[in-house]
Amino acid sequence: MDADLRGSRRLTLRHTVRRGRTLDALEARRTLRQLVWLWGYDVILNEVDEHSGETVAVHSETAGG
């Protein structure tokens, strides 16, 4: 987790993908909407493969929309 408190105040989260199981895109979006409501600023969720370290999916929601 990282929060840019001096700049955009964007919250960046990381989900570790194990055994190839990524998050359900619709559920991730719904969750991010709630986080944006709580945080008040943009939120990004990166899904990262546990073995390769590669980003396999990125989900984001903005405070303005």
Q: Quick one: pLDDT at residue 41?
A: 96
Q: Cα–chain-centroid distance for residue 56?
A: 12
Report yes or no: 13 and 47 within 8 Å, Cβ to Cβ: no
**Gap between the Cα atoms of 22 and 48, Å rounded:** 9
**pLDDT for residue 64:** 84
Strands, sheet with 2-3, edge to edge from the N-terminal-most edge strand: 2-3, 11-17, 43-49, 55-61
pLDDT tens-digit profile, the chain (65 residues): 788 788 889 999 999 999 999 999 999 999 999 999 999 999 999 999 999 999 999 999 999 86
Sign of CA dihedral 26, 31, 32, 36: positive
Q: What is the pTM of this model?
A: 0.87
Predicted confidence at residue 65, as pLDDT, reads 62
Tokens of 54: 């590669």
